[in-house]
Structure formats: C-alpha cells, structure tokens
Amino acid sequence: MNSIKNNDLLIIKLGGSIITFKDKPLTPNYQTIEKLSGIIKELKKHYKIIIVHGGGSFGHYWSVKYDMHTQPSKYPDEGVSRVNESMIKLNHIIIEKFISKNLKPFSIHPSSLVFNNLGCRERIVDIVDMIKDNDIIPITYGDVVHTTKGNFSILSGDALMNILSVSLNPLFSIFTTNVDGIYDSLSNGNIMSNILIGANNELLTSTDTDIEFTNMSFDVTGGMKRKISESINIVKNGTPVYLVNGFYPERMVDIVNGRDFVGTSIKLQQGEKGGN
C-alpha cells in the first residue's frame, strides 16, 4: 500500500498486560498509563505517532468468559456487547490521560480500519492524512469486530500492529509488554537482544543460529508467539520491530536515539530484502 518509508512515524503498541492489572478484572493500571503517556509526549516532539492498545483485564476478561477467539463465529450476543463495551471504556481511560497531557488523541474504532481481518485501504490512508498536517495522535485498539454472515471475531492489537505497519511503513514498530524482551528459555532467563528473520521466516540469532519456537518462553501462553508471528510479517515488509518492557517506557527513547537498550530487536537478516 505504501512503499515510501515514513521516517518520522512510530507505531507503538501499549500491551494490555501493562495498562491493566490482568489478574484484576476491569482494572486499569493508572500509574503505568501515566508513565507511558509522559514518554510518548517526549517522543512526539520529534515523531508522528500512532498508538494501538491491547485489552488486558477489560476485553480479555469478557472474551474468556464467553469463549470468544480470533476465529470468526456466531459468538453470544451478550459476549460481543460486553467485549465491545469494555474496550470502549478502556480506550476512554487512555484518551482521557492523553488529553490531560495535551497529546491531542483521536480515538479510531478498529472496525473502521479493518473488515474481515483485512485492512481497509481508504481508512488507513486517511490516518496518514490525519496526522500529516495536524498534531493528532490516532489511537486504536484490539476489539471484537464483525466479519461476515453475522459472525464476529476478536481482532487483537498485535494483528492491528501488523496491518498498520505493513500499510504505513513506519520507521519503527514498538511493542511494549510486561517482560524485558524475548527470552531464549524460561530456565535460562536470557534476553535475546537481536533476532534476525531469514529467507524462510526462520528466526536466527546474530550468529545465524536457528531459534526453535519450542525452546522459547512465549510458547507457555502463546501471547508472545503471536507477537513474533505478527512481527515477522512487519519485518519482512521493511520495518524493524522492537519489544520492550512497558513498565520502563524510557527504553523507547533509547531505541529511537540509537542507544543501547534492554529489550529485543527483530530485523531482516543481512542480505534479505524487505518492502512491499
């Protein structure tokens, strides 16, 4: 959709595990939201920013309760309503905090950007037009969305990161999570600071050693594995991906300034060609 590198654009995912308390249903983490908004204000001095946020103990709570998934199906109407309403509430909390920081947020419901898990070209292009000559920060989020034939599905924030990053080709795509990065295993607890994507979508270390999914900590819940899957597609389309601990949001400043940081970078293996 967009083959020009947007060198002044960052797309940032605020993980549900950091903006809410995942073990406390429907409970926002105001302290972390405050810290994130402060760092985003710093980044905004030099970059255009698009925010995607997860559901945490809001949308995830109801989607589990009503057994709703990313696979389209005729889920219970009450479940659809509950997930949708809870995500609107969480989004409103984020929006209010950004307004208090004079960040000029603009909420975009995901169903206006995506249909049947595919990006709507005109609406996504409209985001670029929105931020090009304005001081706005568009904010969208994972939610339940209508697909076809009366079916609904859960559209994750990670999937939205993929759709937006591939479409808009930002300078960086940054995922903030509740861990310091991607670990080589739960037993070792070593962060892999650099991961390369090979020609066949294999994950490699900086020494070209193949990384096996089964050895990695993200297989425990599947959450990190999904992030990796979305990240591979983002990287193959030309945008580096970074995963950092959102409880230390200042690490995002280190990334954009080219400094050493605690976290994981995911990039194309040297010699591979990215782009649309």
Q: Is the residue at 274 inside a domain?
A: no
pLDDT confidence band for 272 (50 / 70 / 90): low
Q: Is the residue at 36 inside a domain?
A: yes
Summarize the confidence of residues 197-203 as an average pLDDT. Answer: 83
CATH number for 131: 3.40.1160.10
**Which region among 69-83, 179-193, 212-226, 254-268 has the lowest average model confidence (pLDDT)?**
212-226
pLDDT of 212 > 60? The answer is: no
Q: Which residues contact 135 (CB under 8 A, 6 or more apart)?
A: 104
pLDDT confidence band for 219 (50 / 70 / 90): very low
pLDDT in tens, 230-269: 999 999 999 999 999 999 999 999 999 999 999 999 999 8
Q: Which residues contact 42 (CB under 8 A, 6 or more apart)?
A: 253
pLDDT in tens, 122-164: 788 889 888 988 999 999 999 999 999 999 999 999 999 999 9
Q: Is the residue at 1 inside a domain?
A: no
Q: Which two tokens stand for residue 91?
A: 């989004």
What pLDDT shows up at residue 222?
Answer: 46
Q: Is the residue at 194 inside a domain?
A: yes
CA distance 108 to 117: 16
Share of residues in the chain with pLDDT > 70 (%): 88
pLDDT confidence band for 207 (50 / 70 / 90): low
What pLDDT shows up at residue 7?
Answer: 87
Q: Is the residue at 206 inside a domain?
A: yes
What pLDDT shows up at residue 221?
Answer: 30
Strand partners for 183 = 191
pLDDT of 189 > 90? The answer is: no
Torsion sign across C-alpha atoms 214, 216, 218, 220: positive
pLDDT in tens, 53-105: 999 999 999 999 999 999 999 999 999 999 999 999 999 999 999 999 999 99
Q: Which domain holds residue 182?
A: 6-268
What pLDDT shows up at residue 3?
Answer: 45
CA distance 159 to 226: 9
CA distance 51 to 234: 16
Q: Which amino acid is at 260?
A: D
Q: Is the residue at 210 inside a domain?
A: yes
Q: Which residues contact 82 (CB under 8 A, 6 or more apart)?
A: 62, 65, 66
Angle at 145 between CA 49 and CA 152, to 5 degrees: 155
Q: Which residues contact 129 (CB under 8 A, 6 or more apart)?
A: none
Q: Is the residue at 143 inside a domain?
A: yes
Q: Is the residue at 275 inside a domain?
A: no
Burial bucket for residue 91 (CB in 10 Å: 0-12, 13-18, 19+): buried
Average predicted confidence (pLDDT) for the chain: 89
Of 120 and 274, the structure prediction assigns the larger pLDDT to 120
**What domain count does the chain have?**
1
